[in-house]
């Protein structure tokens, strides 16, 4: 579904029923384009697999935090997973509910904790004893009890990029598995905390189910030990991280993934507990593309460069993770293809969007960078004083501008020169 909503019709790439050419002409480039149908289909795959089970889905806001994107999910009664006070504000502004939001992240400030407690978030996913101490103090100061779940590091290899692997002993995240029982006892003894669950998140862009099952097995073993210590666990949060197809990856279908995890939990005798999923990339990744226009063709001795108006500040994943994104012409040319490195205008050799791509293109042509709905705009910056791209949402044959393109003057509006 997510691939078919971005398809060529009469030789021209369309987003649902809208030509990508018309989008670029109307809104300019670089331009992020999202499909409401793709977002909805991905959500329904999760929701359908959870139907009739003690399972719920919390959208990982960090993957794509645009208010319209979040609102699409909020209208379908989604829960949310946040990692900052700013993301909580976005969830509420988008129509989401605090009582259906879990607060993750390793460095919550006292102010963020206070705001989340006042708003009434569903649970805090806590990652250290110092964080427990701070949350207990903040909750006590305002006369609240904070619901907590400990994020336990199961030391499971997710077999993904080291920058987005989060479940190993060497990662900064979570409570060490061997320390978890003692940490739970410490949490249960704090007067302003209420232990409600256990949480893990082993990484991102995971394309196999087996690492999840390994993590679940370890968590359930730990749950039994924790409850033997007299601490009740009501829910199990298995995190997010399910991968998508960028190139030739073959991740499991969403419904197969969800049912396989739930079946393992049931088979281990824990089906009476609530289960939380926290997907991000698998909901939004292939629901978005980035449109960019060719500026120059620059032949070289060792490489040919295709220079476009999008850059590493617009899409950081290739430079940061050596990530692959499919790049294709919006209107195909019949001319012979050449091999290019697709690069942007930013003054860095690391400013590339695709290497060694076979393309037939000329200056002025439009290209579509696929699978840009997750960790695209949210990671963009104003490096080189470049205004960030506009974002639009396509809904059938209707187009909504959901974030206006920045103007250069906005970028330094909060700055000032020294006095004369």
Residues recognised as catalytic: 347
Alpha helix positions (H), 235-378: 254-267, 281-284, 317-321
Question: Locate tokens 């860095």: which residue?
Answer: 348
Question: 273: annotated binding-site residue?
Answer: no
Question: 321: annotated binding-site residue?
Answer: yes
Residue 373 DSSP symbol:
S
Mention every residue, 6+ apart, whose C-beta is less than 8 A from residue 414: none
Alpha helix positions (H), 52-128: 67-74, 85-93, 110-119
Question: 32: annotated binding-site residue?
Answer: no
Q: Is 307 helix (H, G, I), strand (E, B) or coil?
A: strand
Report the distance separating Cα 275 and Cα 41, nearest Å. 21
> Which contiguous run of DSSP H or E holds residue 180?
helix 180-188
Residue 274 has, within 13 A of its CA and on its CB side, a CA count of 13
Question: 375: annotated binding-site residue?
Answer: yes
Report the distance separating Cα 7 and Cα 20, nearest Å. 10
Report the distance separating Cα 410 and Cα 380, nearest Å. 16
Please provide residue 165's backbone torsions phi and psi, each rounded to the nearest 5 degrees: -90, 130
Question: 317: annotated binding-site residue?
Answer: yes
* CA dihedral for 201, 204, 208, 211, sign (positive or negative): negative
Beta carbons of 289 and 372 less than 8 angstroms apart: yes
> For the CA atoms of 64, 37, 207, 157, what is the dihedral angle to 10 degrees?
30
Question: 329: annotated binding-site residue?
Answer: no
Question: 112: annotated binding-site residue?
Answer: no
How far CA 304 is from CA of 300, 301, 344, in Å, comes to 5, 8, 13
Report the distance separating Cα 133 and Cα 138, nearest Å. 9
Strand order in the sheet with 18-19: 6-9, 12-15, 18-19
Mention every residue, 6+ apart, whose C-beta is less than 8 A from residue 88: 82, 98, 101, 103, 112, 115, 116, 119, 121
Give how far the C-alpha of residue 339 lies from the chain's centroid of Cα atoms, to the nearest Å.
Answer: 31
Annotated binding site: 241, 278-281, 317, 321, 348, 375
Annotated binding site for pyridoxal 5'-phosphate: 241, 278-281, 375
Annotated binding site for substrate: 281, 317, 321, 348, 375
């Amino acid at each position: 579904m997510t691939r078919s909503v971005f398809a060529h019709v009469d030789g021209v790439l369309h987003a649902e029923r809208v030509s990508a050419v018309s989008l670029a002409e109307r809104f300019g480039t670089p331009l992020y384009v999202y499909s409401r149908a793709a977002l909805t289909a991905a959500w329904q795959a999760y929701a359908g697999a959870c139907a009739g089970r003690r399972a719920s889905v919390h959208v990982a806001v960090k993957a794509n935090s645009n208010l319209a994107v979040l609102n699409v999910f909020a209208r379908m009664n989604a829960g949310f997973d946040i990692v900052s006070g700013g993301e909580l504000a976005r969830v509420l502004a988008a129509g989401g509910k605090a009582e259906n939001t879990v607060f993750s992240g390793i460095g919550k400030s006292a102010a963020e904790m206070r705001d989340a407690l006042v708003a009434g978030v569903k649970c805090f996913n806590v990652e250290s004893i110092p964080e427990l101490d701070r949350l207990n103090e903040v909750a006590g100061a305002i006369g609240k009890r904070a619901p907590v779940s400990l994020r336990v590091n199961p030391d499971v290899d997710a077999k993904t990029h080291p920058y987005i692997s989060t479940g190993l002993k060497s990662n900064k995240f979570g409570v060490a598995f061997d320390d978890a029982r003692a940490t739970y006892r410490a949490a249960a003894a704090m007067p302003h905390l209420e232990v409600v669950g256990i949480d893990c998140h082993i990484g991102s862009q995971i394309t196999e189910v087996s690492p999840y099952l390994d993590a679940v097995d370890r968590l359930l073993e730990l749950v039994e030990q924790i409850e033997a210590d007299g601490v009740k666990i009501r829910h199990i949060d298995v995190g997010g991280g399910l991968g998508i197809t960028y190139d030739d990856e073959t991740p499991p279908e969403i419904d197969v993934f969800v049912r396989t995890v739930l079946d393992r939990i049931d088979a281990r005798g824990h089906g009476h507990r609530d289960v939380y999923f926290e997907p991000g990339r698998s909901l939004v990744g292939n629901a978005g593309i980035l449109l960019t226009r060719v500026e120059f063709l620059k032949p070289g001795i060792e490489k040919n460069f295709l220079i476009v108006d999008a850059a590493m500040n617009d899409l950081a994943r290739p430079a940061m993770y050596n990530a692959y994104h499919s790049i294709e012409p919006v209107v195909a040319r019949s001319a012979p293809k050449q091999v290019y490195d697709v690069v942007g205008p930013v003054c860095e050799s690391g400013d590339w969007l695709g290497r060694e791509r076979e393309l037939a293109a000329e200056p002025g042509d439009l290209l579509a960078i696929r699978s840009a709905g997750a960790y695209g705009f949210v990671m963009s910056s104003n490096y080189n004083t470049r205004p960030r791209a506009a974002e639009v949402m396509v809904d059938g044959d209707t187009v909504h501008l959901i974030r206006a393109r920045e103007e250069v003057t906005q970028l330094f509006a909060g700055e000032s020169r020294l006095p004369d």
